[in-house]
Amino acid sequence: MLSARAAAASHAASLWKRGGGDVGSGNGCTSCMEVRRRAASVTVRAAPPKRVEAVAMESAAETAQSEKEEVAAAGGAAEEEYGEDKPMEEELPVTPWAFSVASGYTLLRDPHHNKGLAFTEKERDAHYLRGLLPPAVVSQELQVKKIMHDLRQYNVPLQRYVAMMDLQERNERLFYKLLIDNVEELLPVVYTPTVGEACQKYGSIFRRPQGLYVSLRDKGKVLDVLRNWPERNIQVIVVTDGERILGLGDLGCQGMGIPVGKLSLYTALGGVRPSACLPITIDVGTNNEKLLNDEFYIGIRQRRATGEEYHELMEEFMDAVKHIYGEKVLIQFEDFANHNAFDLLAKYSKSHLVFNDDIQGTASVVLAGLLSSLKVVGGTLAEHTYLFLGAGEAGTGIAELIALEISKQTNAPIEECRKKIWLVDSKGLIVNSRENSLQPFKKPWAHDHEPLTTLLDAVESIKPTVLIGTSGVGRTFTKEVVQAMASFNERPIIFSLSNPTSHSECTAEEAYNWTQGRAVFASGSPFDPVEYNGKIHVPGQSNNAYIFPGFGLGVVISGATRVHEDMLLAASETLAEQATQENFDKGSIFPPFTDIRKISAKIAASVAAKAYELGLATRLPRPRDLEKYAESCMYTPIYRSYR
């Protein structure tokens, strides 16, 4: 397009008056569409015959150069396209635009298509890359090897996180190839525990936006905000309002690291196309005084909006998502505070395809861990007694799914099944005498028992076989608590699930040492293997990444319109089936992450099958082999050849 100065020049102006209007008059070429059409036609006429096909792939810079040449031929001056190097007394507005198919310099800066040194000689000639790259041509495998070598030089996890995010913004396929091939090593880098620190410092490490930010300032214009996203075929949205990021509290707008990280796992582990994923942060302010006073904070500097103002924005957002992307887009709520998480899930589960990973995803993977643990400790799910420390989203979500599975196995009423499950919150054991003061989501777990104020008292009184921590408070499974569990259980099941690692209720080393190596242990964040009495114990990680990528893929391939609890149970049962005796011998109740894409395909098939069975699937006819179909739908990051 012409620069402001060139547009003001008489010869250039006459060139653009073919529609009969003046450049700034509102007639002729004032619309963006008209400007693009005419610029494109000028470019094609000016191009030599042998480059006509390449013209369709020119970048904005190449197009601007063609325009300069034509302006010069018409007697005008060939200026830079925005007039940025020669300021004018009166700047005229210009319209930046580019063709959708890139080549040359812009191709190297397009993360979706850039291959770096992996461009072949033929591709370098065809796409005007010769000279823009060093002469060497390397394979994607060698690129992976080099970057892994570079990442291992960093001693600080956050430096690795930043390097990975930079790679994602530079070369998308290489990022996912790297993550898939080294998933066990890099999962803690792109997600927990490192993502927690990344969110805390997001303003300082912010480079460029990786998702959409919907703030209170956009109220009444949310649909327009969504339209600004370049992709239209969105299948999965992960959205947060940043109020309860992991166990770190209110991080406001800087919670964006969570949706970005989750969706990178949807692609790497579940095979959902990157272009079909959309991370979103709802910015309604923050109550974190440290962030409000941080000069690098990137969000709205005000106290968090609540009540009607908050829910009006959320309602506008949910309506806009359904309007622009349809009812088959999966909306995953992530890290909302308890008081909003349950309300939002209940409100929109009947009208939208919604899923809360903190409530439902965590529950599904923990249930899978419990089903797997039974192969080690024996008994049925209904024969065990469960005690939770923490009665928030995760704790009550897990408890409810356990009760549902017990009900499914025994045909007993759900109310009876809940009586096997006890919860301790900050005020002590949840009992009937506290019912009037309990939040609604806690009331189903109030049972007949004398009030107890400490976890140790609850353990000694209830004598659970399973102890699960979702409190978000580190080191609350004390030596006395763990030893009490070991005193009346030959193989105590201890799940220390809070993230990040510093908030874990106990470490793997503590669990094994305090139970003489008898504990069946799992954690939310990764722990290193522990040697006790000459035996190496590899602690299992009860990571939601086992479930939500495959669950999301199953929803997508079936075209499901709603999430049903039976789909979550199907995901849990399928994951539990993947754990083998070899895993148990090492002390782990979960299969290795190296097999995660195969596991995700199996989970996707089970979830899709349940969606078809429940009449919630819309992609018809149903594929005969859902697992093979799931595998065929999974995104692969191998470089594609360009013609």
The tokens of 50 are what? 């042998």
The tokens of 541 are what? 């990680």
Beta partners for residue 83, in sequence order = none
> How far, in Å, CA of 401 to CA of 358, rounded?
13
Average pLDDT on 71-95 reads 44
Lowest mean per-residue pLDDT among 98-102, 319-323, 339-343, 516-520: 98-102
pLDDT, tens digit, 9 for 90 and up, residues 418-437 = 999 999 999 999 999 999 99
Average pLDDT, the chain: 87
- Give percent of the chain above pLDDT 90: 80
Q: What's the pLDDT score for residue 100? A: 55
- Which residues have a Cβ under 8 Å from the Cβ of 49 and sit 6 or more positions away? none
Q: Is 173 exposed, middle or buried (0-12, 13-18, 19+ CB in 10 A)?
A: buried
Which uninterrupted H or E stretch holds 574? helix 565-578
pLDDT, tens digit, 9 for 90 and up, residues 86-124 = 444 445 665 555 555 678 999 999 999 999 999 999 999
What is the DSSP code string of 270-296? T---GGGEEEEEEE-----HHHHT-TT
Q: Label residue 643 by pLDDT band (50, 70, 90).
A: confident
Q: Label residue 36 by pLDDT band (50, 70, 90).
A: very low
Three-state DSSP state, 298: coil
* Model pTM score: 0.83
Average pLDDT on 337-363 reads 95
Other C-beta atoms within 10 Å of 123: how many? 19
Task: Decide if 638 contacts 173 (C-beta within 8 A).
Answer: yes
Q: What's the pLDDT score for residue 526? A: 87
pLDDT, tens digit, 9 for 90 and up, residues 294-328 = 999 999 999 999 999 999 999 999 999 999 999 99
Average pLDDT on 56-66 reads 41
Closest CA to 497 of 404, 367, 636: 367
Q: What's the pLDDT score for residue 10? A: 38
> How far, in Å, CA of 75 to CA of 295, rounded?
50
Residue 598 has pLDDT above 80, yes or no: yes
Position 311, amino acid:
H
The tokens of 624 are what? 């005969």
> How far, in Å, CA of 274 to CA of 375, rounded?
37
Q: Label residue 71 by pLDDT band (50, 70, 90).
A: very low
pLDDT, tens digit, 9 for 90 and up, residues 191-246 = 988 999 999 999 999 988 899 999 999 999 999 999 999 999 999 999 999 999 98
Residues carrying an active site annotation = 191, 262
Q: Label residue 360 by pLDDT band (50, 70, 90).
A: very high
Residue 494 has pLDDT above 60, yes or no: yes
What is the DSSP code string of 158-170? HHHHHHHHHHHHH
The tokens of 577 are what? 């089936």
* Alpha-carbon dihedral 292, 298, 303, 308, rounded to 10 degrees: -170
pLDDT, tens digit, 9 for 90 and up, residues 181-195 = 999 999 999 998 899
Position 329, amino acid:
V
Residue 50 has pLDDT above 70, yes or no: no
Q: What's the pLDDT score for residue 95? A: 56
pLDDT, tens digit, 9 for 90 and up, residues 499-513 = 888 899 999 999 999
